[in-house]
Structures are given as C-alpha cells and as structure tokens.
Chain A
Amino acid sequence: MPSAAIIGVGQSGYTRRPEPGQSTHTFIRDAVVAALADAQIDARDVHGMAVASFSLAPDTAVDLAWKLGLSLRWLLQDTNGGSSAMNMLGHALRGIESGAADVILVVGGDATGLAGYGRIAANYNIATRDHLAPLGHGGPNGVYALVTSRQMKKYGLAKSDYGHIAIAQRAFAAKNPFAVYRAPLTMEAYLAAPMVADPLSRYDCVPVVAGAQAIVLAHPDRAPPGRAAVGVRAHRASFNYDNQAGDGLATGISTFAAELWQAAGVAPRDIDVASIYDDYPGMVLAQLDDLGMIADHDLARFCRRDIGEERRPINTWGGMLSAGQPGGPAGGLNAISEAVLQLQGRAGERQVEGARLAVATGYGMTMYRYGGTAAAAILERVE
C-alpha cells in the first residue's frame, strides 16, 4: 500500500459569467469546502497546501492560507499552467511520504473574466508580450492554430477528425452536472461552427470559465469509511524539453513516457480511463501519441475509429472543451479528479465499469510556439 494517496475531491460551480461578489478567491473557497467535505477531513487537520492560479495576485499562497484559516507547515505555489495540477500532485505526494505534512490540500482556480483572460494571454511571458502580442496573435488560439495546421499536414488529418474528439467529449459532458456545455454536438454543427483562428473553430477552442477544483491527499488509511483511496503508481514531468526548437507535435511527455510505464509496471493497453489535458483537440492527440496510446501513430484512424465509433473513455467528464477551463491549473485538477471518481466508482452516469487504472496528464505554458511543460501520472484504486 502506498503511503500517500488522494482521499477526496471537490469543485466549485463553473460559470462563463461570474456574478457580482464572485471572485477567484470565492471559487477557491467553494472548492476547498467541497473537497474537505468529500474527504471527511476537518480544516484544522490540513497542514499542507498547494495552489495554482493566474488570478490570485496580488495575494500569494500564504495569503490564501490566511483567508482560509489554515495554519500550515508545508506550502507551495505553482506556476506551470496546464501542468500545474500534475506538478502539485507530485510534490504533494512527496510531502506526505516524507512526513512534512499528514494532509495536503491541492487547489487551483481562476475567475479572470474574458477581458482579464485577454490581458493574461497577451502578457503570458516576455516572449509573448514582446514578439507575439504585437502581431495580434490571438493568444493561445493563434499559437495552436499553427500547431494544428502542422499536425494536419504531418498526419493527414481532416477537420472532421478533430470533431470526433469534441463530439465524444460533449456526450460525456451531458452526464456531468458541473459541465457548462451539455447539449449534444453533431458533426454537422461542429463543421458549421464559426472559425476562430483557422483551422480552429468554436468547438476546438477551450471555453474560459470561472471556477475552482481541489483534491485532498493523505495516507490512504485516512480515506472515508467504505471508500478506496486512489494512489499514484508513477508520476513524471518535463519542463522546456526542446527549447522550442521542434514542431510542437510531440510534447514533453515523449521524453518520459517509456520510463513512466516502466515505473508503473503497466502498459498503455491496461488503462481503463484517460484524462488528457485538452485545451485543443490536437494536443489531446499529441499527448496520447506520446504516451503510446495511438496504434501505429495513426492519428486519423484513432479519431475515426477509437473515438468516433468506439468512444474510448477519454476525458469522461467532458474535458475542458465541454466542461469549461477555469484556468489551466484547475482544468488540470479536473482531469485528476475525474480519474479519482472513476477509480472509486463514483462517476455516476458516466462511470466506466470496472475502472481500476487511469492515466492523467497536464500540458501547458505556451512559451512561444507551443507548450513547454508536461506531466503525467498513472493512478490506481488502493485496495
């Protein structure tokens, strides 16, 4: 039995347009309250916290601890965007394992508003501010439009291939009461949607929402009675894997995938549920291919057969593309949280029967031409 595991998850409501009085802080509070209730942990027993948010400033992690009334001896603030969640998970596991804290809360959330998101996108880093924003590059939509064009040429993908991902995830979202978009999506509607940044159209671009997600880690014995904790068989991360000198069609996952599977003692074929960071459908494919989960690197066949026809259980909460992206950090925590719910048999209508092993990934920090951070974990139910 591992000495550290996930024992509870919780999220705030998600909304495209926050009400007056709602803020990043209130969404984070709601997620924290929900996660502690789910884990059946008293706030006074929390001695560690990790947080990631694009809109917590000028507050920092210790200010959040103060406002939540948490007195801590382990504290982390992560800045790795779409892979923050996975990064914080790795650190929190080691925090528990080392005895630094018995219970660690990991939380992410954002409520930037659409205009606030635009400002963040234009000032994401110095390279973006100085060399991309002056072009009117469209934020990450523009960056991944170019990456997606490259992917289409390299792998012979049609626009409709990406549609299979958006449509399949929307069908899962219909079974997730927290998802912001739950109405069924057809291929006809997908292909008719207005273009945002060619070749990306409306349903290819992750919708920005306000919200937060939290998870609670502790020794698996601390899991609520009658519920299995979820452990991590292996966890790996990568940062600035190629100095932005490649084509962006492989992610940092490609640098550690073999080691990840070996450390976990399982293979891609053993996975029951996959939570793949989905800011854009093309990046779902890139990460799955890096993980060795796309046979023969045939991305087009995978989209048409494995997703379109067989509905492989990928992003079963609807993914960020349908459930919404409450900032990259909380979006990444959604992926972990869904894997936990599936492995605990608590995913309701979207439950994958008999799910015992899951893979979750994070991908983010668009430094210039594509993302520079990535991480993945193999999760399992602790018996």
Chain B
Amino acid sequence: MSAGVCIWQCKGCGTKVFPQRLLCPHCHGAAFDEERVHEGVVEELSVIRHMIGQESWQPRRIANVRTKDGPMMTVGLRDEAGEGAVVELFQEEGGPFGRRKTG
C-alpha cells in the first residue's frame, strides 16, 4: 500500500489527469510530471453485491470521488464513508482506494 494515488500533470498547461494519457487532453503536450493526490470527497457510491461469473463474491463498496487536485476517480472504499465524506486516498496494486479521513 502507498499513500496517495498517482496522477499526471501536463508540463505544458498544468492539466491534471487520471488515468494516464499519451497526450494532454487540453494542450496535447506529451510531457507529464507524476504527482500524488491524497484526498477527495465522495460524490456517489455503490455496494457491488453480485459480480457476474463469480460465485463466492463478498459485497464491496466503490465510490466516485472528486479529488482535491482535480480529476474524478473511481475508488474502492475500505470503510463506511458516505456521500459527502472526505476520504484519504491510497493505492494498492494500481487500484485507488479511500477511507474516511480522520484528524
């Protein structure tokens, strides 16, 4: 697990994107800096109760999160954070996850 989620910032115009692109969608520059975004707000969430083709599926929560630095992101929720909650973001095996921010 690593703190924050990697996003990409265009060196030309500063646009921040997630997932990674080949060219900036705004200025079409090809150079990006990697950054990490650590926080976002849950806008919508869902409980995935069934997954086609899976027989022993355990329900899990996902959310649409507006990150503090810009890009919208779909994350897995690791607690009962609800809509409007501020979550801290972290990354596991490439996947972005969140849990309610404390403190």
Q: Which A residues form the contact surface with B (CB < 8 A)? A: 113-119, 121, 126-127, 130-139, 141-143, 145-146, 149-150, 153, 194-200, 208, 243, 245, 368-369
Contact = CB atoms under 8 A, between A and B. Distances in A.
Given A136-B76, A369-B64, A369-B72, A131 B50 contact: no
Contacts of A131: 18-19, 74, 94-96
A15 to B, nearest CB: 16
Given A131-B74, A146-B74, A118 B52 contact: yes
Nearest to A140: B52
In this complex, the interface size class of chain B, counting residues with CB under 8 Å from chain A, is 20 to 34
A221 to B, nearest CB: 45
B51 A118 contact: yes
Please list the 9 inter-chain residue pairs (A to B) with the smallest Cβ-Cβ separation, ordered nearest first: A118-B53, A134-B95, A135-B76, A138-B48, A145-B46, A149-B44, A115-B53, A243-B25, A127-B19
Interface in B43-96: 43-54, 57, 60, 62-64, 72, 74-76, 92-96
Contacts of A195: 47, 49
Secondary structure of the A side of the interface?
Answer: helix
A117 B54 CA distance: 11
A131 B49 CA distance: 19
Given A142-B62, A197-B48, A369-B64, A119 B53 contact: yes
20 contacts: A115-B53, A117-B53, A118-B51, A118-B52, A131-B95, A134-B93, A136-B51, A136-B62, A137-B74, A138-B62, A141-B48, A146-B62, A150-B64, A196-B49, A197-B47, A197-B48, A199-B46, A200-B46, A243-B25, A369-B72
Contacts of A114: 52-53
Given A127-B19, A135-B75, A368-B74, A118 B54 contact: yes
A243 B96 CA distance: 20
B32 interface: no
B97 interface: yes
Contacts of A117: 52-53
B46 A198 contact: yes
Contacts, number: 107
A208 B76 contact: no
A47 B17 CA distance: 45
B50 A196 contact: yes
Given A139-B52, A196-B49, 4 more contacts: A134-B76, A134-B93, A153-B44, A195-B47
A194 B49 contact: yes
Contact of B51 (A139, A145, A208): A139
A149 B74 contact: no
A22 B54 CA distance: 22
Contacts of A137: 48, 62, 74, 76
B47 A198 contact: yes
Interface string B1-44: 00000000000000000110000010000000000000000011
Given A118-B53, A134-B95, A368-B74, A150 B62 contact: no
Nearest to B73: A131
A48 B94 CA distance: 43
A359 B2 CA distance: 49
Contacts of B60: 135-136
B59 to A, nearest CB: 9
Contacts of B64: 146, 149-150, 369
A383 B52 CA distance: 46
A135 B97 contact: yes
Given A130-B19, A150-B44, A198-B46, A369 B74 contact: yes
Nearest to A200: B46
Contacts of A113: 53
Nearest to A133: B95
Contact of B46 (A118, A127, A130, A149): A149
